[in-house]
C-alpha cells in the first residue's frame, strides 16, 4: 500500500536547521491485524497538521525516522478481533482513530492526567505509526465510533483530533460569555480555534494574520476585526477596538517568536493569554512580570487531552467545516500535500487516502 | 407624563391568588432632578418582563403598590448634575438604566456580593420607581453609557438587564464547549437564554415548549430538536437524542411546578440543572437525592449580578435580537402591553416610551 | 481462609425493610491468581464503611448476595504475574486495592468520566469480591503502591478509598479559603470530611451531631462550634454563629431525611450545600426553589472519583488519622465488627485481617 | 502628631537606583475630619510591608513624595460624621482601615474589577496618606468593623490587608486539596502565604529560603521540607521530594530575578506557578514556552482584591499569627523600623502607633 513517509531527518546544529528532512510517498506492506489488537481500519481521510510538517522540517519532538506521517484521521473497520467486538465495534463501522491512548496503569493515568501517561508514545504504543496511508491496525481504546447518519459528511471527522486539542485550549482559557478576544494567527489550527471562539460567545473578535487568504477565512468564520500586522499597528488597533481595556482573552497560534512578546501588553485586567502554538524548542519569551502583575494577568499553555475526543465529535456538526477545510487532496498527491501546506495559503487540507 | 402603574394589589389567601392585582396607564408629574442624583433621563424603550406581570398578578416579592412598572430600560440623558458629569456622562448620552445599584458600604457589598446588598431596594434606593414612563431620575452608579454608533439599534439596549440575568445563569451553569443542553420553556427570558446557549457552543440543543410560536422562535435561534411536551414524551425523546446519556446541562425557564420534577432524571453524569425560573413562593420540588447522587448531579439557582451589565452590553451585538423581540408596542398602548404579554405568544415585547 | 460475608438479603416491601439481611464470618477457599490478573494480595487492614452496613441492612444498590463485604483496604503483594510486573509492582509491595477500575474502552471512560464507566461493576469486573478477608486477587489498574517508609503507619492507607470519596465532595463544593462551614453528621465519613474542611481553610467550623462521642471527635479535629441538635435549635445557633449571613458551605453527611430539609435555609448568599450522604432510595427532599433562588444557592451531590486515589494517598499524612480511627478490631471478631459499627459510637473502625 | 514619612525620593538612572530615598519620623498636624468623610481613627497598629520599603529604596510605583508610609493598619474610631453613622459605625469601634476603595462609578468598578478602579489612587482618593502615624480620617467604604470580643488580639487585624492580598494569590492558584507545593521565599508576605498553603490542604510543603530565621519560621508554620538554596540544589531536591513529578503549585514570593527562571522547570503536569512577588520594573523573565507547553503549565500573577478583606478578617483567627509576627516595635522607633525590616531577619514586624 502507499504511505507518505518521513524518510530522512533534518540536519541540525543544536536547534538550528541546516537542512530540512525529507518525506516521500512509498510502497509498504499492508499491516496485519494481531490478536491483541482490536481492528484493522481502512483510512478514508487524514488531515494535514503543522506538527507533521515540523517533524520533517525541524525534527520536532525528536520524532523517530522513518515513520508514516499523519495523525488526524478517520476510516472504516475492515477486520476485527474479539477484543474489538467486546468493545462494541463491528466491521463497517466508521471510526475516528487517535494516534495513542493512555495506558491506564501508570501514576499519571491513575491521576486522570491522560496525556501525561508515562507509557504512551505518540504513534507507537498503539502501533499506529501514521495515517497518511491506506490501512492501519488499532486498539479499541484509540477508536471512537462515528454515529450512523452523522449530521455532517463523515470525512470531516478526520478533524476530531485537532478539535480536541483546540478544545483543550478553549477549556483552559476559562472564557466567560461576552469576553473580548484576540487571535494571532489564523492558519490550520487557528481557524479551528477561531470557530470555537465564535461559538464560545466572545466579543470584539479580532484576528491578526499577515496572509490575505487567512484573513478572508477569518472573516467568513465570524471575525469582527481583521488586522494585517505587516501594514497595521497591532497595539494601536487593539487599544482602539477594546476602548483601551485590552482583551480579556488572547490566543497566540502563530508561534512566531518575534510576534509573541507584544501580547501580554494587549491583555485586559485579569486577562488570560494562551500561547497555544508550539514554539521553537530554544525560544525564550522575555516576559515582564511587573507589567503582568499590574493587571493580574495569566499565561496558559496547552498540550491536549484524550478525554476531549468524544466531546469534539459531539461539537463537530456545529463547526463551520466547509470554511475551515480549504483544500481536499489525494494520497497519491504525495509530497505535493506537504508543499501545498508549506505555501501557507490554506487553513485545513484534508487528504482522501482510499477509494470509498 | 404617562406611566403604566401597578395600582391595586392582588387579593391573596396565603399564596393562593383570589383576585389578581390591577395595572393602569396614569398621568403623573414628571420627576425633578435632585442635586444628590446624577441625571434625568428620557426613557426611550422599556421591555416587558415576566416579573412585571407576576408583581401584578400574584404579588411577587410583596412589591409595594402603587408603583410604576418596568425595569428593563434605556433612554437619553436630558439633564445632568455635577456628580453625573464627574462620572463622565453628558446630556445627550444614551444610557442603560438599572433599577438599582449596590451601596458599596454594607458587609455584602464589601464582599463583592453586589446583589445581596443590604441597602439596595429594588427600584427605590436609586429613586427609579419604574420605567414604563417618560422620564426618570437616576444615580451615576446605575447608568451605563451606550457606545456612540453602536453596532445594533440603540433601542435593543433596553434588553441589557435580562441579558445580565441570563448571563448569570450561563456563568453559573459552568458549561463546557460541546456540552449537550435541554431548555424547558422558550418564552421571553427563555429565548435570550437559548440564544446564549447557542453562542456558548452547546450541542444537541433541545427546546421543549408547548407554544408553537415559541418553538418557531427556538428553531430560528438555532435549536436542533424541538419538543412539544403536550404531545410528545419528553423523557423518551431526551434519551433518544442524547443516546441515553442524558443532558450535560438543563435550564428550566418554564417555572411550572408540574414540569419541574422530571428534569433531574434527564441529567447526564455530572450534569448541571439550572432552575432559572422564579417558582411560586410556596412550591416545593420533590427531589430524589439518591438518584441525583448516582449521577453526581448539581442543582443551581440564579438570582442576577449587577457586575454582568457591561459584559451584557458587550455581548448584545452578537445576539439575534430581531428574532428575540417579536413585538414592538407603544407606552400609549397601556394595559394592552400586559394583556399581550399574558397571551403568551411572544418572546420579548419592547415598548417605545417617548417620541424619539 | 476467613471472610465476613453478606449471606442473606434483607426482606423488603418496596423500599421498606421488613427484616434486615444477615452477615456471617465464613470459611472459604483462598482465591487463585489467574494469568490475566496482576497480583495476589494479602489483606492487611480493611476499614468498615456505612455502605457495607447498608448493603446488609437495607439492600443498598441491590448488591448481589452472597458476597464478601469490605472495600476500603490495603495489603501486601504475595504473588505476581507478568502484567503485574510490567505495571511496576513486585512481591512485598504494600498496596491500596480499589474495588474496581474504569475499563478505558466505553464512551464514559473515553470522556474521562471514570466512575460512570459502563463496564465497571463494583467488586466484580476486577474480581475483588470484598476485602474483609485474608487474600484477594486484583488487576494492576486497581492497585496503588504505598511509598516505602511512608510518613504514617501503612495500616492507615486502608482509609484511602473513603478519603478519595470525601475529596470528591471537597472538590465539588468549590470552597474558598475563609468560607464558613456547617457539617451535619460527624460519623465515619463525616469525621474524614471534617478533617478536610479544617485542612481547607474553612472558618466558623460548626458540627451538628446528636452523639456526644462524635462531637468530642469533632472538637479534637478542630470544630469551633459544636451543636447537639436534640437539645439546641440548629437554625438559631447557625444564624448567631454566622452573624445572620448563613454558611457559605454546608455538608450533610447524616443522610437523615428529617434533618435534610432545614439545610437550604442555613445557606449564605451564593452558598453551596453538599448532600454527601446516601439517602434512602425512596426519599424526596422537599426543596423550595424560590427560597434557594433568592440566595442564588447551589445543591451538589457526590459520587466518587477513581482519579482522586493517588491524591488521597498524598494527603493521608496530613490527616489526623489517630483521631478519626476510634477503634481497631480483628477479622476474627466477625459479626461483632458490624454490631460495633451499628452502635454508632465510633468514627472509623479499622480491621486487621492478617497476622503481619 | 508623629508620622513616619517618605521625604526624599531615590535617585534613579532609568531603573537603576543610584541612591536610595529617605524616610524620617516627623511632627505633622493632626488631620481634621471633613463632613464628606466618615470617621477619624486613632491608629493602634500598623504593619511593615516590603512595598513601604521599596517605595523608599527604589521608587516603586513612582509613588509621590513626601507622603506618610504604612498601609496595613487597624485602629479605633474617635470621631464620626453622619455618613459614618449611616454606614453602621460608632465611636469606639475598632476597625481595619484600607488604603483605598473602589469608586463604584467607573467602567471597571461596574464590571466588579474593584482593584482596576480608574479613580482609586492608592492612599489618595480616600485621603489616607499613610498609617505609620497617630490619626487618619477615612470613608466608610474603606473601613471594616472588627468584631467585639474577637477571638484573637485586635492588634493582629492590622494584618488584614496582606492577608487579603495573599488570599487573592491562593484563590487564583486554584489549589486542589492534596496538591504538592513549593514556596520560594518565606519573608513577611511569604510566611502568610505559607500559613495559607498549610491551611489549604497542600502536601509535600517545601520552602526554599536562604535565611535560617525564615526557614525556622517556615518549620513552625508547618513546612515539611526546608531548603537552603545557597547550599542545596533546589532542582534536585524538588525532583526527589515530588518523586520526579514536580510540584502542582509553586509560589514565588522572593522576587529575585536570578531565582525566578528555574521555577517553570519544577512544575508538575498541569502545574500552576504563581509569581506573587513584585519584580523589578525592568526585569524580563526568560520563559521557555516549549517546555511549559509540554506540561500544559500556567503562569499566574497576583495584584489584590478589595473584596477579600471581610473574608480575610474571617480567616484571621485560624492563622498562626504569633509565629508570623516576629517583632513588635513602636512608632517612636522611627527609621529603625525600616532598618530592622531591611536586615531581613523577620517575617512580619508590627508597630504600635498609639498608647492604648
User: What percent of chain C has pLDDT above 90?
Assistant: 81
Task: For residue D314, give the nearest of C167, C178, C199 by CB distance.
Answer: C178
Contacts of B204 by beta carbon, 8 Å cutoff, 6+ apart: A314, B180, B181, B224, B225, B241, B242, B247
D280: left (phi over 0), alpha (psi -120 to 50) or beta: beta
Task: For residue C309, give the nearest of A102, A110, A306 by CB distance.
Answer: A110
Query: CA B303, CA C293: separation in Å to the nearest integer?
Result: 6
Instruction: Spell out which residues of chain A touch residue B196, defining contact as CB-CB under 8 Å.
Output: 177, 201
Q: What is the mean pLDDT of chain C?
A: 93
Identify whether the C-beta of residue A66 lies closer than 8 Å to the C-beta of residue A6: yes
Task: Answer yes or no: do D317 and C203 touch at CB < 8 A.
Answer: yes
Task: Answer yes or no: do D176 and C311 touch at CB < 8 A.
Answer: yes
Task: For residue C301, give the nearest of B108, B245, B296 by CB distance.
Answer: B296
Query: CA B285, CA B260: separation in Å to the nearest integer?
Result: 7
Residue A61: pLDDT band (50, 70, 90) is confident
Residue of B nearest to D119 (CA): B87
Residue of D nearest to C309 (CA): D178
Task: Answer yes or no: do A107 and C140 touch at CB < 8 A.
Answer: no
Identify whether the C-beta of residue B148 lies closer than 8 Å to the C-beta of residue B154: no
- Residue-level pLDDT at C276: 98
**Residues from B in contact with A at Cβ < 8 Å:** 167, 170-171, 176-180, 196, 199-201, 203-204, 311-312, 314-315, 317-318
Residue A184: pLDDT band (50, 70, 90) is very high
Instruction: Spell out which residues of chain B touch residue D305, defining contact as CB-CB under 8 Å.
Output: 112
Identify whether the C-beta of residue D65 lies closer than 8 Å to the C-beta of residue D8: yes
- CB neighbours (10 Å) of residue D62? 10
**Residues from B in contact with C at Cβ < 8 Å:** 107-108, 113, 115-116, 168, 172, 245, 260, 269-270, 275, 277-290, 292-303
Tens of pLDDT along A87-140? Answer: 999 999 999 999 888 888 899 999 999 888 887 644 444 445 689 999 999 999
Distances (CA, A) of B185 to B182, B207, B211, C225: 10, 7, 9, 44
Task: For residue A104, give the nearest of C104, C112, C309 by CB distance.
Answer: C104
DSSP 8-state class, residue A161? H
Q: What is the mean pLDDT of chain B?
A: 93
User: What percent of chain D has pLDDT above 90?
Assistant: 81
Identify whether the C-beta of residue C225 lies closer than 8 Å to the C-beta of residue C203: no
- Residue-level pLDDT at A126: 43
- The whole-angstrom distance between A144's CA and the closest CA on chain D is 25
- Residue-level pLDDT at A229: 97
Residue D124: pLDDT band (50, 70, 90) is very low
Phi, psi of C255 (to 5 degrees): 70, 25
Query: CA B291, CA C279: separation in Å to the nearest integer?
Result: 9
For A255-268, what is the mean pLDDT?
A: 97
For D67-81, what is the mean pLDDT?
A: 95
Tens of pLDDT along A222-237? Answer: 999 999 999 999 999 9
Task: Answer yes or no: do C314 and D196 touch at CB < 8 A.
Answer: no
Which residues in A130-158 are b (16+ Cβ under 10 Å) and which e? bbbbbbbbbbbbbbbbbeeeeeeebbbbb
CA A70 remoteness from chain centre: 11
Range of lowest pLDDT (B151-155, B259-263, C135-139, D10-14)? D10-14
- Residue-level pLDDT at C116: 87
Which H/E stretch holds residue C158?
A: none
CA A23 remoteness from chain centre: 20
The candidate with the shortest Cα–Cα distance to C315, out of A105, A116, D250, D200, is D200
- ipTM score assigned to the predicted complex: 0.95
Task: For residue D279, give the nearest of A107, A172, A290 by CB distance.
Answer: A290
Identify whether the C-beta of residue B303 lies closer than 8 Å to the C-beta of residue B164: no
- The whole-angstrom distance between A245's CA and the closest CA on chain B is 12
- Residue-level pLDDT at C123: 42
Q: Is A135 helix (H, G, I), strand (E, B) or coil?
A: strand
Q: Residue C90: is it exposed, middle or buried by C-beta count within 10 angstroms (0-12/13-18/19+)?
A: exposed
Task: Answer yes or no: do A296 and D303 touch at CB < 8 A.
Answer: yes
Tens of pLDDT along A35-57? Answer: 888 999 999 999 999 989 888 88
Q: Position of cell 419528553? A: B234
Task: For residue A303, give the nearest of D113, D293, D302 by CB distance.
Answer: D293
Residue of B nearest to C111 (CA): B269
Phi, psi of C271 (to 5 degrees): -75, 160
DSSP 8-state class, residue D132? S
Instruction: Spell out which residues of chain C touch residue D318, defining contact as CB-CB under 8 Å.
Output: 201, 203
For C140-155, what is the mean pLDDT?
A: 94
Task: For residue D310, give the nearest of B88, B101, B110 by CB distance.
Answer: B110
Query: CA C48, CA C63: separation in Å to the nearest integer?
Result: 17
Tens of pLDDT along B141-192? Answer: 999 999 998 999 999 999 999 999 999 999 999 999 999 999 999 999 999 9
Phi, psi of D105 (to 5 degrees): -110, -25
Residue of B nearest to D106 (CA): B87
The candidate with the shortest Cα–Cα distance to A112, out of C318, C121, C110, is C110
Q: What is the mean pLDDT of chain D?
A: 93
Task: Answer yes or no: do A112 and C112 touch at CB < 8 A.
Answer: yes
Q: Which three cell numbers stand for residue C152?
A: 504514617
Instruction: Spell out which residues of chain C touch residue A106, defining contact as CB-CB under 8 Å.
Output: 87-88
Identify whether the C-beta of residue A268 lies closer than 8 Å to the C-beta of residue A248: yes
Listed in order, strand segments (DSSP E) in chain A are: 2-8, 11-13, 16-19, 22-27, 39-47, 67-68, 72-80, 94-97, 135-138, 143-145, 180-184, 203-208, 225-227, 247-252, 267-275, 284-288, 298-301, 325-330, 348-352
Query: CA D115, CA C315: separation in Å to the nearest integer?
Result: 35
- Residue-level pLDDT at C120: 61
Identify whether the C-beta of residue B90 lies closer than 8 Å to the C-beta of residue B148: no
Task: Answer yes or no: do B303 and C289 touch at CB < 8 A.
Answer: no
Instruction: Spell out which residues of chain B touch residue C115, defining contact as CB-CB under 8 Å.
Output: 269, 296
- The whole-angstrom distance between A293's CA and the closest CA on chain C is 22
Range of lowest pLDDT (A309-318, C12-21, D184-193)? C12-21
Q: Is the pLDDT of residue B123 over 70?
A: no
Query: CA D124, CA D100: separation in Å to the nearest integer?
Result: 7
Task: For CA atoms C143, C149, C155, C159, give the dihedral sign.
Answer: negative
Identify whether the C-beta of residue B323 lies closer than 8 Å to the C-beta of residue B221: yes
For C73-86, what is the mean pLDDT?
A: 96
Q: Is the pLDDT of residue B45 over 50?
A: yes
For B12-26, what is the mean pLDDT?
A: 88
Tens of pLDDT along C192-250? Answer: 999 999 999 999 999 999 999 999 999 999 999 999 999 999 999 999 999 999 999 99
The candidate with the shortest Cα–Cα distance to D351, out of D82, D43, D52, is D43
Task: For residue B315, give the nearest of A170, A201, A318 by CB distance.
Answer: A201
Identify whether the C-beta of residue A333 lies closer than 8 Å to the C-beta of residue A26: no
Which H/E stretch holds residue A222?
A: none
Contacts of C174 by beta carbon, 8 Å cutoff, 6+ apart: C272
Tens of pLDDT along A202-219? Answer: 999 999 999 999 999 999
**Residues from D in contact with A at Cβ < 8 Å:** 107-108, 113, 115-116, 168, 172, 245, 260, 269-270, 275, 277-290, 292-303
Mutation to test the C interface, candidates B290, B297, B300, most C Cβ within 10 Å:
B290
D partners (3+ CB pairs within 8 A) are A, B, C
- Residue-level pLDDT at C62: 74
Query: CA D316, CA D320: separation in Å to the nearest integer?
Result: 8
User: What percent of chain B has pLDDT above 90?
Assistant: 81
- Residue-level pLDDT at A63: 76
Bridge-based pairing of strands C39-47 and C72-80 is antiparallel
Identify whether the C-beta of residue B39 lies closer than 8 Å to the C-beta of residue B33: yes
Task: Answer yes or no: do A301 and D298 touch at CB < 8 A.
Answer: yes
Task: For residue D105, give the nearest of B105, B106, B140 by CB distance.
Answer: B140
Identify whether the C-beta of residue A254 lies closer than 8 Å to the C-beta of residue A344: no
A62: left (phi over 0), alpha (psi -120 to 50) or beta: left
Task: For residue A141, give the nearest of C104, C107, C112 by CB distance.
Answer: C104
Instruction: Spell out which residues of chain C touch residue B299, defining contact as CB-CB under 8 Å.
Output: 287, 292, 298-300
- The whole-angstrom distance between B157's CA and the closest CA on chain A is 15
- Residue-level pLDDT at B125: 41
Task: Answer yes or no: do D110 and B144 touch at CB < 8 A.
Answer: yes
DSSP 8-state class, residue D115? G
- Residue-level pLDDT at A120: 61
Q: What is the mean pLDDT of chain A?
A: 93
Instruction: Spell out which residues of chain A touch residue D301, defining contact as CB-CB under 8 Å.
Output: 289, 292-293, 295-298
**Residues from D in contact with C at Cβ < 8 Å:** 167, 170-171, 176-180, 196, 199-201, 203-204, 311-312, 314-315, 317-318
Q: Residue D18: is it exposed, middle or buried by C-beta count within 10 angstroms (0-12/13-18/19+)?
A: exposed
C partners (3+ CB pairs within 8 A) are A, B, D
- The whole-angstrom distance between D238's CA and the closest CA on chain A is 18
Task: Answer yes or no: do B113 and C270 touch at CB < 8 A.
Answer: yes
Phi, psi of A279 (to 5 degrees): -85, 160
Task: Answer yes or no: do B113 and C269 touch at CB < 8 A.
Answer: yes
- Residue-level pLDDT at D122: 43
Tens of pLDDT along D268-308? Answer: 999 999 999 999 989 999 999 999 999 999 999 999 999 99
Mutation to test the D interface, candidates B80, B82, B101, B112, most D Cβ within 10 Å:
B112
Contacts of C308 by beta carbon, 8 Å cutoff, 6+ apart: C163, C164, C165, C167, C168, C171
- Residue-level pLDDT at C242: 96
Task: Answer yes or no: do D315 and C180 touch at CB < 8 A.
Answer: no
A partners (3+ CB pairs within 8 A) are B, C, D
Tens of pLDDT along A189-205? Answer: 999 999 999 999 999 99
**Count of CB pairs separated by less than 8 Å, B with C:** 113
Annotate C301-319 with DSSP letters as a single string.
E----GGGHHHHHHHGGGS
- Residue-level pLDDT at A121: 46
Task: For CA atoms A110, A111, A114, A118, give the dihedral sign.
Answer: negative
For D220-240, what is the mean pLDDT?
A: 98
Bridge-based pairing of strands B180-184 and B143-145 is unpaired
Using N-to-C axis directions, what is the helix angle for B188-199 and B160-173, rounded to 10°? 50
Q: Is the pLDDT of residue B239 over 60?
A: yes
Identify whether the C-beta of residue D294 lies closer than 8 Å to the C-beta of residue D70: no
- Residue-level pLDDT at C121: 46
For A265-287, what is the mean pLDDT?
A: 96
Amino acid at each position: 500500500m502507499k504511505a507518505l513517509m518521513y524518510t530522512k531527518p533534518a540536519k541540525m546544529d543544536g536547534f538550528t536547521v541546516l537542512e530540512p528532512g525529507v518525506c516521500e510517498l512509498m510502497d509498504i506492506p499492508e499491516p496485519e491485524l494481531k490478536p491483541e489488537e482490536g481492528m484493522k481500519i481502512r483510512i478514508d481521510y487524514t488531515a494535514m497538521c503543522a506538527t507533521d510538517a515540523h517533524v520533517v522540517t525541524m525534527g520536532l519532538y525528536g520524532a523517530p525516522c522513518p515513520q508514516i506521517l499523519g495523525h488526524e484521521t478517520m476510516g472504516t473497520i475492515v477486520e476485527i478481533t474479539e477484543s474489538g467486538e467486546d468493545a462494541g465495534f463491528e466491521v463497517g463501522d466508521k471510526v475516528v482513530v487517535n494516534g495513542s491512548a493512555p495506558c491506564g496503569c501508570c501514576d499519571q493515568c491513575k491521576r486522570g492526567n491522560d496525556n501525561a501517561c508515562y507509557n504512551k508514545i505518540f504513534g507507537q504504543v498503539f502501533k499506529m505509526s501514521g495515517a497518511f496511508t491506506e490501512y492501519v491496525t488499532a486498539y479499541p481504546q484509540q477508536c471512537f465510533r462515528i454515529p450512523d447518519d452523522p449530521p455532517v459528511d463523515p470525512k470531516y471527522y478526520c478533524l476530531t483530533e485537532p478539535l480536541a486539542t483546540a478544545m483543550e485550549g478553549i477549556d483552559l482559557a476559562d472564557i466567560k460569555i461576552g469576553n473580548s478576544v484576540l487571535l494571532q494567527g489564523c492558519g490550520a489550527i487557528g481557524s479551528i480555534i477561531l470557530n470555537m471562539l465564535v461559538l464560545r460567545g466572545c466579543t470584539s473578535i479580532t484576528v491578526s494574520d499577515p496572509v490575505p487568504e487567512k484573513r478572508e477565512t477569518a472573516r467568513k468564520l465570524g471575525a469582527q476585526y481583521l488586522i494585517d500586522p505587516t501594514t497595521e499597528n497591532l497595539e494601536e488597533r487593539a487599544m482602539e477596538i477594546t476602548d483601551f481595556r485590552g482583551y480579556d482573552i488572547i490566543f497566540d497560534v502563530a508561534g512566531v517568536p518575534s510576534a509573541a512578546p507584544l501580547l501580554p501588553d494587549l491583555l485586559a485586567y485579569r486577562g488570560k493569554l494562551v500561547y497555544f502554538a508550539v514554539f521553537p524548542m530554544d525560544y525564550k519569551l522575555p516576559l515582564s512580570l511587573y507589567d503582568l502583575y499590574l493587571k493580574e494577568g495569566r499565561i496558559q499553555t496547552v498540550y491536549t487531552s484524550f478525554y476531549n475526543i468524544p466531546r469534539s465529535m459531539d461539537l463537530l456538526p456545529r463547526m463551520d467545516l466547509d470554511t475551515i477545510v480549504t483544500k481536499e487532496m489525494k494520497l497519491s498527491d504525495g509530497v505535493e500535500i506537504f508543499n501545498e501546506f508549506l505555501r501557507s495559503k490554506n487553513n485545513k487540507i484534508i487528504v482522501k487516502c482510499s477509494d470509498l
